């Protein structure tokens, strides 16, 4: 093959690639086969697996079966009885529609089946019948057996080694369908006869009764039901929500849209955010949600495995669901359950019995006494405050700080702004609602409103990458101590964590700059600094052998360039440049004085590392450069002190300024764990297993 020449792929390669898109792992094959059974009108569906589904998957139902005349093409790609034209997708009600599932399975496994009404047995390989169908005696329905899945995809097979994990994935799929289709009887078991993994009776069952059967009585009794319909947007919603005080072993979020098991990030985020808003601690809720929209308002053909759908009025529907969930949580008032331990004065024996307390809003809280496991006991309260917080504050002379906001020097043009009516219209969007919640931690009521679309987009990007789990950890953090100026320890729940203060403070200041855009206090320098001298010094920092001076043409050009941007820098970022001198810096956090050792490098980076050509890129790159300058750095600390200022201890700044701000304001991104910005060092429960004491 000549490099660069475009050619047609062989049909066998195309089929294998397509199969890999549809069937990622055994659970995908089971899901496709179950959906086929449901589409056939089956009322009994059984699933048998071996080796986690890699060795054997057998799905049997009592549906309508496959007609004899269709057997020749039943496993060819894009053959289906569920639609004939693309327009049929606008009214599609079946779960399958592409005609890809059986074809994809047949290209990566050895498959066989028998089907009634004609009761014929047939084998399939790579989309075609291996032999002529044979007439046999069989029950009504279809049975499909898949053997040696991924036999011709060794890399895919090698990545799926844990049979138990795959079995659990399949069980999770079958369980969710059993909950959503309570009138159907489901059975799942393993081929080795080690017992039945799950069984539902069907017919008289309900969603709640199947949850009770499959997830346990403790989960079912904590669930609250809601039923909602909105004719404006043409949808219905039914759900079962766990009490905001109840925590399951992990987040269980079951979502069906038009009877399709799907993922929807906007709905999941708003559910997590609403629980976070109502829960008094970090919990793992149990949520079952069914949404039915008009078939003409949903696009089911947006994902290879049909894992996602797209529907009209998504933001409005999500807002309605959020309101319904909040109303449901309010109705939980009479049955909130909190577990506590009441200890005898004479010893460690727990008092038995139940105590009831009535609050001012008449919400009864049932305090069930239990002997508390010492390895899970939390002995600190993150709400406690220390006396040291009120001492050793950095002394900032009043002449150095101006608390007035810089006045805007210009009126934003219509092309730069988002019209008020558009903002109001989009306020119901899920991301906007979350954005508004985030803004509360950064803004003040008397701040001027900046309506630049580029700034709003940057704010939305921050919110879009927030980790709800890390956010809960930072909100509940209890400061332990500093390892050094770079690393700090804190406790959350029963875990001990270490964070990188330089990375934490850099992201914190970036978010402060984006959310506080155009509304910063001013840190007035006691002596103005020459921009040219700072730029020249910046070159020296980059290259100690540099012979660049303040009179060099390169330095003069940079100084003149920055002066041309002085109006914008002052208006948006409270960075004051005048007559070739730096007069003021933005004051981003109360009681925080930036380490000025990095000032020269910062001024040089304004010219070299900021994209001054595009509005959004300009604001983003400026804030990134500025956040690196403002970030707390170990290399600038002098012994126990922050830097040249020998009155301020770095440990006080970390504990009472940076960590305090991070606790209440920081929106931690979801890649911090991977980047080891936040590291879990130990857990009380694990330590207890070693030392057997706390």
Return the minimum-mean-pLDDT range out of 5-19, 56-70, 612-626: 5-19
Average pLDDT for 117-138: 77
Residue 386 CB partners (closer than 8 Å, separation 6+): none
Domains 11-199 and 216-335 share a fold: no
Confidence at residue 370, expressed as pLDDT on a 0 to 100 scale:
40
Average pLDDT for 400-424: 39
* Positive or negative: CA dihedral 119, 120, 122, 128: negative
Q: Write the pLDDT tens digit of every residue in 379-394.
A: 555 555 554 554 555 5
Residue 135 CB partners (closer than 8 Å, separation 6+): 118, 119, 120, 121
Say if residues 246 and 283 touch (Cβ distance below 8 Å). yes
Confidence at residue 185, expressed as pLDDT on a 0 to 100 scale:
94
Is it the case that residue 631 has pLDDT exceeding 60?
yes
Q: Would you call 596 helix, strand, or coil by DSSP? A: helix
Choose among 582, 484, 597: nearest CA to 538.
597
Domain 216-335: state its class.
alpha beta
* Cα 163 from Cα 191, distance rounded (Å): 13
Residue 217 CB partners (closer than 8 Å, separation 6+): none
Confidence at residue 200, expressed as pLDDT on a 0 to 100 scale:
92
pLDDT-based confidence at 184, cuts 50/70/90?
Answer: very high
Confidence at residue 637, expressed as pLDDT on a 0 to 100 scale:
86
Is it the case that residue 294 has pLDDT exceeding 60?
yes
Confidence at residue 21, expressed as pLDDT on a 0 to 100 scale:
63
Task: Report residue 280: phi and psi, to 5°.
Answer: -85, -10
Domain boundaries, the chain: 11-199, 216-335, 341-372, 418-520+647-694
Q: Write the pLDDT tens digit of every residue in 496-553.
A: 999 999 999 999 999 999 999 988 889 888 889 999 999 999 998 888 888 888 888 9
For residue 534, the surrounding DSSP H or E stretch is helix 531-542
* Percent of all residues in the chain with a pLDDT value above 70, rounded to a whole number: 75
Confidence at residue 635, expressed as pLDDT on a 0 to 100 scale:
87
CA 346 → CA 339, 340, 368, 429, distances in Å?
22, 18, 20, 57
* Cα 364 from Cα 131, distance rounded (Å): 69
Say if residues 156 and 169 touch (Cβ distance below 8 Å). no
Residue 659 CB partners (closer than 8 Å, separation 6+): 477, 479, 488, 490
Is the pTM for the entire model greater than 0.85?
A: no
pLDDT-based confidence at 135, cuts 50/70/90?
Answer: confident
Task: Report residue 227: phi and psi, to 5°.
Answer: -140, 125
Say if residues 483 and 679 touch (Cβ distance below 8 Å). no
Choose among 404, 341, 331: nearest CA to 372.
341
Residue environment code for 243-272, b if the CB has 16+ CB neighbours within 10 A, otherwise e? bbbbbbeebbbbbbbbbbbbebebbbbbbb
* Cα 580 from Cα 548, distance rounded (Å): 18
* Cα 67 from Cα 115, distance rounded (Å): 8
> Higher pLDDT residue, 191 or 179?
179
Say if residues 90 and 70 touch (Cβ distance below 8 Å). no
> Higher pLDDT residue, 586 or 432?
586
Number of helical (H) and strand (E) elements in the chain, helices listed first: 22, 27
Q: Write the pLDDT tens digit of every residue in 197-206.
A: 899 988 877 8
Query: How many other C-beta atoms can be found within 10 angstroms of the C-beta atom of residue 466?
Result: 18
Query: Per residue, what are the HEC states of 141-156?
Result: CEEEEEECCCCCCHHH
pLDDT-based confidence at 17, cuts 50/70/90?
Answer: low
Return the minimum-mean-pLDDT range out of 72-81, 87-96, 323-332, 343-352: 343-352
Architecture of domain 11-199: 2-Layer Sandwich (3.30)
Say if residues 603 and 538 touch (Cβ distance below 8 Å). yes
For residue 601, the surrounding DSSP H or E stretch is helix 599-608
Confidence at residue 436, expressed as pLDDT on a 0 to 100 scale:
61
Q: Would you call 495 helix, strand, or coil by DSSP? A: strand
pLDDT-based confidence at 443, cuts 50/70/90?
Answer: low
- Please state the separation of Cα 352 from the chain's center in Å: 41
* Cα 371 from Cα 664, distance rounded (Å): 33
* Cα 626 from Cα 256, distance rounded (Å): 45
Q: Write the pLDDT tens digit of every residue in 220-273.
A: 999 999 999 998 889 999 999 999 888 898 899 999 999 999 999 889 988 988
pLDDT-based confidence at 334, cuts 50/70/90?
Answer: very low
């Amino acid at each position: 093959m000549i490099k660069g020449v475009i050619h047609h792929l062989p049909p066998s390669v195309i089929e294998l690639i397509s199969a890999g898109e549809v069937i990622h792992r055994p659970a995908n094959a089971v899901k496709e086969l179950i959906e086929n059974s449901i589409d056939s009108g089956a009322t009994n569906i059984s699933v048998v697996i071996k080796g986690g589904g890699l060795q054997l998957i057998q799905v049997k139902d009592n549906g309508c079966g496959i007609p004899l005349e269709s057997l020749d093409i039943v496993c060819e790609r894009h053959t289906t009885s569920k639609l004939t034209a693309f327009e049929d997708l606008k009214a599609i009600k079946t779960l399958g529609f592409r005609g890809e599932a059986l074809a994809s399975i047949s290209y990566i496994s050895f498959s066989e089946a028998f089907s009634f009404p004609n009761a014929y047995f047939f084998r399939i390989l790579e989309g075609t019948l291996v032999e002529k169908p044979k007439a046999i005696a069989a029950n009504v329905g279809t049975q499909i057996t898949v053997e040696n899945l991924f036999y011709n995809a060794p890399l895919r097979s090698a990545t799926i080694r844990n049979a138990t994990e795959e079995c659990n994935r399949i069980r999770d799929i079958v369980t969710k369908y059993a909950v959503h289709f309570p009138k159907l009887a489901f059975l799942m078991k393993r081929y080795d006869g080690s017992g039945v993994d799950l069984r539902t009776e069907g017919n008289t069952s309900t969603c709640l009764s199947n949850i009770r059967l499959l997830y346990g009585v403790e989960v079912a009794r904590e669930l609250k039901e809601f039923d909602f319909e909105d004719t404006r947007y043409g949808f219905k919603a039914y759900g079962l929500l766990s009490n905001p005080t109840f925590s399951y072993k992990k987040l269980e979020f079951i979502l069906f849209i038009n009877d399709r098991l799907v993922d929807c990030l906007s709905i999941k985020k708003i559910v997590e955010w609403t629980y976070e808003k109502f829960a008094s601690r970090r919990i793992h809720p149990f949520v079952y949600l069914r949404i039915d929209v008009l078939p003409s308002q949903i696009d089911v053909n947006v994902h290879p495995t049909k894992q996602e759908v797209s529907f009209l009025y998504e933001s409005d529907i999500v807002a309605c669901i959020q309101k319904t969930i909040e109303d449901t949580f309010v109705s939980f008032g009479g049955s909130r359950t909190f577990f506590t331990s009441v200890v005898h004065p004479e010893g460690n024996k727990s008092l038995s019995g139940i105590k009831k307390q009535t609050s001012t809003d008449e919400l009864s809280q049932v305090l069930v006494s239990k002997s508390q496991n010492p390895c899970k006991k939390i002995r600190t309260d993150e709400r406690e405050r220390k006396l040291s917080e009120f001492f050793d504050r950095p002394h900032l002379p009043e002449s150095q700080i101006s608390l007035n906001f810089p006045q805007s020097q210009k009126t934003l043009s219509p092309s730069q702004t988002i019209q008020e009516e558009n903002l109001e219209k989009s306020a119901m969007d899920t991301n906007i609602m979350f954005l508004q919640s985030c803004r509360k931690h950064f803004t003040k009521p008397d701040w001027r409103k900046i309506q630049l679309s580029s700034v709003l987009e940057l704010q939305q990007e921050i919110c879009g990458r927030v980790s709800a789990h890390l956010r809960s950890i930072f909100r509940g953090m209890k400061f332990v101590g500093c390892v050094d100026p770079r690393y700090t320890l804190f406790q959350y729940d029963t875990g001990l964590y270490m964070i990188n203060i330089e990375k934490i403070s850099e992201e914190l200041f970036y978010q402060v700059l984006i959310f506080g855009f155009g509304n910063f206090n001013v840190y007035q320098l006691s002596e103005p600094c020459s921009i040219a001298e700072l730029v020249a010094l910046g070159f020296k920092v980059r290259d100690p052998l540099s012979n660049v001076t303040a009179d060099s043409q390169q330095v003069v050009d940079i100084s003149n360039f920055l002066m041309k941007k002085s109006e914008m820098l002052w208006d948006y970022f409270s960075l004051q440049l005048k007559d070739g001198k730096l007069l003021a810096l933005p004051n981003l956090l109360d009681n925080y004085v930036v380490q000025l050792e990095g000032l020269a490098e910062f001024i040089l980076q304004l010219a070299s590392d900021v994209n001054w050509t595009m509005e959004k890129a300009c604001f983003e790159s400026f804030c990134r450069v500025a956040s690196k300058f403002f970030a707390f750095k170990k290399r600038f600390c002098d012994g126990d002190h922050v830097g040249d200022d020998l009155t301020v201890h770095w440990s006080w700044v970390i504990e009472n300024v940076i960590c305090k701000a991070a606790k209440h304001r920081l929106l931690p991104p979801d890649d911090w764990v991977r980047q080891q910005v936040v590291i879990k060092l130990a857990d009380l429960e694990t330590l207890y297993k070693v030392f057997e004491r706390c």
